[in-house]
Structure 1
């Protein structure tokens, strides 16, 4: 999901200013505007205390713990059916199938649906109850887990999803009758994470007949979804509808050896404010009925032309080997089509749907989408689907932008897209980022609840690699500064480190999505992961890192890897497990920071010393005065013999001493010492010492010392203290003074014309 674009905008604004000025939940009734809990056979909703680990009586399949992330034990080789070789009958090991008939009422912003859900029990024991996500209920009232966390997290840092909800703008999903072979089933709300009793995002459905080990069950149900005005990820703005997380979706039954599980468990978390989703692979067969003048875009392949039904049309979409389904509906939308063909991929039809006011965004989104197909296919693995649909949201629907689903995503929207502008960069980046989720969220299907870095973080890193390959940078400018010729370029990885809060990281990267200090700290899952992977790449090598990620993808696509599986794959492929382990221990499982600095550099002549010395078997004394006279005499003689000598040279050698300081975790460093004749000495600092001192004796005086001269360590919180000069250097202050003078001169010139 897009959070980075907002961070970039804030960062550009800040840069402009800088340049210019130097416990047990209580049951509560929902508010009047919220709908009642709906179930014709539902039992009252009851809260599960945070310590509870079981959804029901002892002996039943337990829930995954709210702290189930941070997986350190690699999954079993046979997890999720083992690696997919490509020779299997289906791309994924399909666990679930959905047949849905949906009707959109665009005036009321509602979707009425009938759903047939077939689920296969992969475990070795019968299952007597299943659990469904009702994600839309996150938006039914301020009593949901989503809104409860929003009040705390969003107040401590910027975030999307914090729009005010006005009367009539709430969203919810009413689950109606649920049947198993014609038998009505009872269901009730549960709280796997110990959230408030007023959260209705997870339900337990008690089966009439248990599902035997290896057997399947088919459930027929109806539901009514009221879309919210777009708050986050889903909803409507005017006549535009982005319909995501809109149907009852079954949770994931994890087995021993899968993502740290030691026994079968239901992984079915409540909808948290900063979290996204996790589901089994399966098949979707969805029919959507909407008014004739509405254009529909959706996950998967459209089956023929829409079928007329009076004043409506029914659109039919099918897609297998995915784990979610979303769609958009709006009148007046236009489309532009393209195509991608590449080794190992089918012919991919690429479509961009856009409103007339943002026509300028359509072609750039199409190009960035096709370029992304080529880059991700060549560096990770071939894109396996036949379609890709990108949607440009309409005016006033920014919260609908930057969201991903399999084969389907929403981009950004701009009226003007000129080369080398912030608009161009953001439009391209968000397109690449949302497409990239199709790999890290879609094909690799990591658990975004528990380990968001595997999706948001790794995707951000691979997006930055693509931008680097494109030589595409963000021009940190505004029309005001562009007028004065100020257009500093910012490479994507540099931008990541500047927004990653490296000085004082609050949470390990491997933490779950909701146990974060603030939304702003959660956002560093993107930037700090990208920065950590960048530095790991610098230590392993670009080609080695790419080979390692391709190995990770080969092993885990169409499965559900954990952080431990990522570490194991990179360690195995790179052949350097100790380096990989250090990075994961420090940043993924810990909150280490790096801040190495050059604290001192001194360069002094190595002069003869006064005192008593042994010469020809006899002791000879040289006083300080005599020694000073002799030194001066040698200097004068040398100057006469070398009238054009370069500065920093003389009759005596020079000893240059550099002191470096480590304020944080250790990381291999290179120290580069430059001398006044242009020569250079380098030394490696690769130990755990808090400080170190390095001395160099040469015929010439030292000039400067610099840590990380090749700028490989982006995790260093402060790069400004990485270097020092022997003599004071005022070049920077002179440059800033000159720039400010130029700006003032320009302003006065403008004022003089008024």
Structure 2
């Protein structure tokens, strides 16, 4: 999900701890480095039960087993994914109450080697039922330290919830209870434990029939209604993931079924969905997957039928008076794709740009990662006053952004393109690779941000942070997309490792750097590995792990395997994914002086002679005069005597290979590599000309360097660098204030 405010403003293996979903004890829990210590309810162990994943599980360090999640998909299997679950849902929208009544048949397969007598369901919509939920509890703490989205006040009648009715197994009513896998408040009701009437044998399946009632909230975040617009997401009971040994660091079977946290998103098994949606006749309906024929009349309603296999979620939109725009796309290895944009009349100008960005994304992601395997893409433009419904992703279905005006060369044009590409890109990183957004958000949000920026870079797209008014006066500050990421990445004092989970974070602002700091780190890794090598590595990552839920360690192993450069990959992961290092190298000193003859005595051919200071100065002057006559066009700071130049460099943070470039008065250049772990180093040159400047990272490859102002020194005063970066910051602020004016 794209957090708009963040765009401008700014580790542990999940062990097989025997944590019970029952019996809560109030204790002090030690959080990962960089997080606060707070009183939370910690599940107590119960022997013989399949445990939960750790409440503080984060970036995995151990690569998954070769056969994890059924092994790599070759394309020869009967289905694209190893389908674990299927949902058959009948849903009816009440347009006045913004509520959905549903009947659901859920079939789940037990992949483990043991019988399972208890399963767990997510009731995500209960995050919005009261301020006692984990979502709102964390919102009060984290938003106080960094703002963010999803902060709207909930007024009377605007809460959302999901009421679970009957749950049956072969006609037998089942008992269920609310549990707290992450030790959240007892008032949180986003996870349910269901006691089965009969265990599911190893390799066997169970079918559960259930009824539910979902009340949509006034749009708070990710889901909800505004007026006649209904974004129906996280709306049905959804089974958790039973992970097996060798999958994402697990050493024994465990239930990965986290509560709905304020900053987290989702994780689920692949499966198939067969959904019938009843909505008023004058409503436009769009959803995940393929529409099956024309909708069927049912009184004043229409019944829409959508199906989709090999996805792990289902969301839909129903809106009165909306319009649609359609086209088709096809690329090598992909089926013909129907692309639809659903939009309100007030944002008609947004429809064509969203369509173009969507089809361009299909081309780019298919070429650089792998063919798009589905037959549909649906993009929804939310209405005015429902911006929190924008910038959200589901398989084959996403919501974009919306702007009153989308003129070429404006910040609005860039932002609409960026958000559309970003949300489509989730279809690969969140959708097809299906990483765990609870525990490893950088694998989705961060890597997707990086790949989106690569696409924008290939398009030659710049970020125009100045307004037309400023450009009329000649003030133009187009910024590269990665330069913008760098400026918003909080490189000086990162609070949390990139690989940290979603909720053990200092603040919403600190979480926001998952996007920008990951993109910046991957940019720098690409500079070290090479663009082509990096692209081959990500193609291999996708080919090996799509439909299989990879971990950070799996990404790291693939990058090493393809590039052969373990040192560069491990360095980025150790410093940034698993750590909170900073890079700040500087030119500490630059001295360049003539090497002149010296007065005193010397012995030549056995005879000692003496040169006085006066005679020595005279000879120096004579030699200089003669040289000037012989070289009338010589450049300043060149002459008959050589110059000794010393450059002192200093590390204020983590080690990273740096190029040092020294430029001399005669136009010559010396390049050297500083690639060791010394805190400081001194380099000396004896050249026929005086040094003009010394510069670190002259080709601007290291965006992780927190302070670029100290990368350059000149022998003579030169304020170009400070003026350059000051203008970038000023342009950033101008863009921020311009954005505020549109909110």
Structure 1 counterpart of 2:455: 466
Deviation at 1:380, TM superposition (A): 0.4
Q: What secondary structure sits across from 1:221 in the alignment?
A: strand
Is 1:70 paired with 2:59? yes
1:475-526 CA deviation, whole Å, 9 max, x = no partner? 1112431332322111111110110000111110011011111100100000
- CA shift, 1:56, in A, is 7.0
**C-alpha offsets along residues 192-239 of structure 1, whole Å, 9 cap, x if unaligned?**
001110110001000000000000000001111111111110001111
Are the structure 2 counterparts of residues 46 and 304 from structure 1 closer, same or farther at C-alpha, using a change threshold of 3 Å? Answer: farther
CA contact (8 A) 1:100 1:287 kept: yes
Residue number in structure 1 paired with 2:81: 92
Q: Which residue of 2 aligns with 1:576?
A: 565
Per-residue CA distance 1:288-307 (angstroms, 9 max, x = gap): 11111111110000011111
Q: Distance in 2 between matches of 1:429 and 1:6?
A: 14
Equivalent of residue 145 in structure 2, options 141, 156, 168: 156
- Matches of 1:350 and 1:575, distance apart in 2: 39
- Does residue 425 (structure 1) correspond to residue 417 (structure 2)? The answer is no
Q: Is the 8 A contact 1:662 1:690 kept in 2?
A: yes
Partner of 2:734: none
Superposed, which structure 2 residues align to 1:31-50 within 5 Å? 47=24
Is the Cα–Cα contact under 8 Å of residues 535 and 715 in structure 1 kept in the other structure? yes
Q: Is the 8 A contact 2:380 2:399 kept in 1?
A: yes
Residues 384 and 720 of structure 1, relative CA distance in 2, 3 Å threshold? same
Instruction: Give 3-state SS (helix, strand or coil) of 1:213's partner.
Output: coil
**Given the alignment, which residue of 36, 40, 48 partners 1:59?**
48
Structure 2: gaps of 5 or more residues: 11-20, 30-40, 729-743
Q: Quick one: distance in 2 between partners of 1:267 and 1:607?
A: 74
Deviation per residue, 1:692-737 (Å, 9 max, x gap):
1111111111111111111100000011111111111255789999
Matched with 1:203 is: 192
Note closer, same or farther for the CA distance 1:8–1:738 as it changes in structure 2 (3 Å cut).
closer
- Deviation of the 1:574 alpha carbon: 0.9
Distance 1:650 1:287 in 2: 86
Would you say how many aligned residue pairs link Structure 1 and Structure 2? 706
Q: Could you tell me how far apart the structure 2 residues matched to 1:738 and 1:381 are? A: 40
Q: For residues 571 and 313 of structure 1, do their structure 2 counterparts lie closer, same or farther at Cα, with a shift above 3 Å needed?
A: same
- Cα distance between partner residues in 2 of 1:190 and 1:526: 31
**Equivalent residue number for residue 147 of structure 1:** 136
Equivalent runs, 1:221-620 vs 2, <5 Å: 221-620=210-609
Shift of 1:678: 1.1
User: How far off is 1:554 after superposition?
Assistant: 0.5
Q: Which residue of 2 aligns with 1:81?
A: 70
2:637 to 635, 648, 662: 648
2: CA distance, partners of 1:71 / 1:736: 37
Contact 2:132 2:188 survives alignment (8 Å): yes
The equivalent residue for 2:109 is 120
Q: For 1:706, what is the secondary structure of its paired residue?
A: strand
- C-alpha separation between the residues in 2 aligned to 1:105 and 1:463? 38
Task: Tell me by how many angstroms 1:417 deviates.
Answer: 1.2
Match of 2:611 in 1: 622
Judge which range, 322-331 or 633-642, deviates more.
633-642
Match of 2:469, SS state, is: helix
Check the 8 A contact 1:516/1:522 in 2, yes or no. Answer: yes
Which range is displaced more, 232-241 or 45-54? 45-54
Q: Deviations over 1:98-131 (max 9, x none)?
A: 0011111111111111111000000000000000
Deviations along 1:136-173, one digit per CA (max 9) or x if unpaired, are 11111111111111111111113111111111111111
Q: Secondary structure at the match of 1:91?
A: coil
Q: Contact 1:145/1:270 (CA < 8 Å) preserved in 2? A: yes
1:168 and 2:167 correspond = no
In structure 2, relative to structure 1, the CA distance for the partners of 1:49 and 1:260 (3 Å cut) is farther
1:693 and 2:682 matched? yes
CA distance in 2, matches of 1:439, 1:360: 27
Partner secondary structure for residue 570 of structure 1: helix
Once the two structures are TM-superposed, the CA of residue 414 in structure 1 deviates from its matched residue by 1.6
Cα 1:55–1:368 change in 2 (3 A) is: farther
SS of the residue corresponding to residue 204 of structure 1 reads strand
Inter-CA distance 547–476: structure 2 relative to 1 (3 Å threshold):
same
TM-score by length of 2: 0.93
Tell me, which stretches of 5 or more residues in structure 1 are unaligned?
12-43, 740-754
Deviation at 1:641, TM superposition (A): 3.1
**Is the Cα contact below 8 Å between 1:53 and 1:62 reproduced in 2?**
no
Please state if 1:661 is matched with 2:660: no
Partner residue of 2:13? Answer: none
Give the TM-score of the pair, scaled to structure 1. 0.91
Q: Kindly indicate whether the alpha-carbon contact (under 8 Å) linking 2:43 and 2:180 is maintained by their aligned counterparts in 1.
A: no
Per the TM alignment, residue 640 of structure 1 is displaced from its structure 2 partner at its CA by 3.2
SS of alignment partner, residue 285 of structure 2: strand
Superimposed CA distance per residue, residues 580-611 of structure 1 (whole angstroms, 9 cap, x where no aligned partner): 11111111101110011112211100011233
* 1:331-388 per-position Cα deviation (integer Å, ceiling 9, x unaligned): 0010011111111100000000000100000001001000000000011000000000
Residues 1:635 and 2:634 are matched in the alignment: no
Q: CA shift at 1:9, angstroms?
A: 4.7
In 2, distance between residues paired with 1:707 and 1:725?
A: 12
Contact 1:47 1:195 in 2 (8 A): no
Kindly tell me: are residues 737 and 548 of structure 1, through their superposed partners in 2, closer, same or farther at Cα, counting changes over 3 Å?
closer
Distance 1:717 1:732, change over 3 A: closer
